[in-house]
């Protein structure tokens, strides 16, 4: 099998069906299997997925539905499917995305021709057509996190120093080596996967993509942003349905990532300031969300 696509769904039935229709319209010249993992959705997703799979069972794609009896999170949900495939490339794909017909072919061709690339992501735009800034990133650290949390990175998007996290000083259409791409569309090679292992299940629904990229780079592979194909990300669909939980998990992921990769590099006082910054942000956004119809987790 050349490509395994893994989609973890939780209560976003309509977005998921749009995603699956776009996947079914993919034009590829290789074998593809699609794993749909459902995290115990209660919005009719299970029945809708079963119906979709039945309708498309004769399609050029092999469909596999893996319903779970509880919400195990994004990392564990993906791992559940990863363990069931031996494909040469594995793609993590959010259920609230829509891929272009050529997306899979373009990305597999690129990674096949560039064996030093362990993880690659494509250009991702949000529903309004603007670039999803998470699709190419530096690893968060105390410095670039400060500029982002104080919004100086948004005020000075062309500054290499202040916009270091989201790399907005770089052209959108430039292929570039980065620290990380986003789990909404993240392709990993089998060689890199076998070397670094599964996603870290300590992360529930954020941060696991950053951590995977860290481990892949640490193993000697490149992480690349390859904007030769573009997908749409209807961002926030899943987190909007459980905003307080999502907000908490977003900030918990920040702390886990810091503890795993930075904690030992900093003095005790610096670590305390980092933790204080993370959880102060959580409290502020939690309070702000009480007065907002559209809840905020991260921008």
Residue 201 backbone dihedrals phi, psi, to 5 degrees: -80, 0
User: What's the Rg (C-alpha) of the chain?
Assistant: 19
The predicted model gives 221-231 an average pLDDT of: 98
CATH of the domain at 128: 3.90.550.10
Torsion of CA 134, 140, 143, 144, to 10 degrees: -10
Nearest to 184 by CA among 137, 128, 245, 244: 137
Let me know whether 105 and 252 are in one domain. Answer: no
Are residues 130 and 142 both part of a single domain? no
Let me know if residue 216 belongs to a domain: yes
Q: In this structure, are 115 and 39 located in the same domain?
A: yes
Burial 81-96, CB ≥16 within 10 A → b, else e: bbeebebbbbbbbbbb
Same structural domain, 163 and 83 = no
Q: Model confidence at 190, in pLDDT bands (50, 70, 90)?
A: very high
For residue 285, name the pLDDT band (cuts at 50, 70, 90). Answer: confident
Q: Is residue 294 part of a domain?
A: no
Question: Average per-residue pLDDT in the chain?
Answer: 92
Residue 299 lies in a domain: no
206 shares a domain with 117: yes
269: in domain:
yes
How many structural domains comprise the chain?
3
Residue 161 belongs to what domain range? Answer: 138-168
Distances (CA, A) of 168 to 163, 175, 176, 249, 263: 6, 14, 12, 26, 27
pTM over 0.75: yes
156 and 267, same domain (yes or no): no
Same domain, 130 and 157: no
Answer with the one of 168, 188, 211 that is the final residue of a domain: 168
Residue 299 above 80 pLDDT?
no
Is residue 298 left, alpha or beta, with left meaning phi > 0 and alpha meaning psi from -120 to 50? beta
- Among residues 113, 148, 168, which one ends one of the domains? 168
- Tell me whether residue 296 is in a domain: no
**199 pLDDT above the threshold of 80:** yes
218 shares a domain with 89: yes
pLDDT of the residue at 167: 96
Q: Which residues contact 201 (CB under 8 A, 6 or more apart)?
A: 72, 73, 75, 76, 79, 208
Q: Are 206 and 88 in the same domain?
A: yes
Strand bridging mode 117-126 / 185-189: antiparallel
The predicted-structure confidence for 137-176, as pLDDT tens digits, reads as follows 999 888 898 898 888 998 999 999 999 999 999 999 999 9
Domain shared by 48 and 19, yes or no: yes
Q: Is 9:16 a contact under the CB 8 Å cutoff?
A: yes
Q: Report pLDDT digits (tens) over 101-135.
A: 999 999 999 999 999 999 999 999 999 999 999 99
Transcribe the chain into DSSP letters: --EEEEEEESS-HHHHHHHHHHHHT---SS-EEEEEEEE--SSSHHHHHHHHHHHTTTSSEEEEEEEESS---HHHHHHHHHTT---SEEEEE-TTEE--TTHHHHHHHHHHH-TTEEEEEEEEEETTS-B-GGGSBPPP-HHHHHHHHTTHHHHSTT-TTTTTTTTTTS-TT--EE-SB--TTEEEEEHHHHHHH-S--TT-SSSSHHHHHHHHHHHTT-EEEEEEEEEEEE-TTTTGGGGHHHHHHHHHHHHHHHHHHHTGGGS-HHHHHHHHHHHHHHHHHHHHHHTT-SS--S--
Q: Which of 212, 234, 256 is the last residue of a domain?
A: 234
d(CA 99, CA 111): 18
């Amino acid at each position: 099998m050349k490509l395994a696509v893994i989609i973890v769904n939780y209560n976003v039935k309509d977005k998921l069906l749009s995603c699956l229709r776009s996947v079914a319209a993919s034009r590829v010249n290789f074998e593809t299997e699609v794993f749909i993992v459902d995290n115990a959705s209660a919005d009719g997703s299970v029945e809708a997925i079963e119906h979709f799979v039945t309708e498309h069972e004769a399609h050029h794609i092999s469909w596999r539905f893996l319903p779970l009896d509880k919400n195990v999170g994004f990392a564990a949900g993906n791992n559940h499917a990863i363990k069931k495939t031996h494909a040469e490339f594995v793609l993590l794909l959010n259920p609230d995305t829509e891929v272009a017909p050529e997306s899979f072919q373009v990305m597999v061709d690129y990674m096949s021709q560039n064996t030093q690339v362990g993880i690659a992501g494509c250009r991702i735009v949000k529903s309004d057509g603007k670039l999803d800034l998470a699709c190419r990133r530096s690893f968060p650290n105390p410095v670039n996190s400060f500029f982002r949390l104080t919004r100086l990175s948004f005020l000075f998007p062309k500054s290499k120093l202040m916009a270091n996290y989201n790399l907005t000083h770089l052209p959108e259409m430039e292929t570039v080596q980065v620290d990380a791409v986003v789990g909404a569309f993240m392709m990993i090679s089998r060689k890199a996967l076998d070397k670094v292992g599964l996603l870290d299940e300590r992360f529930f629904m954020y941060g696991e993509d950053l951590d995977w990229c860290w481990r892949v780079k640490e193993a000697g592979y490149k992480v690349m942003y390859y904007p030769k194909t573009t997908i749409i990300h209807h961002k926030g669909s899943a987190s909007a349905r459980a905003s307080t939980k999502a907000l908490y998990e977003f900030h918990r992921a920040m702390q886990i990532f810091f503890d795993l990769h930075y904690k030992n590099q900093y003095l005790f006082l610096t670590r305390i300031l980092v933790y204080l910054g993370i959880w102060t942000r959580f409290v502020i956004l939690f309070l702000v969300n009480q007065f907002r119809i559209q809840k905020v987790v991260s921008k």
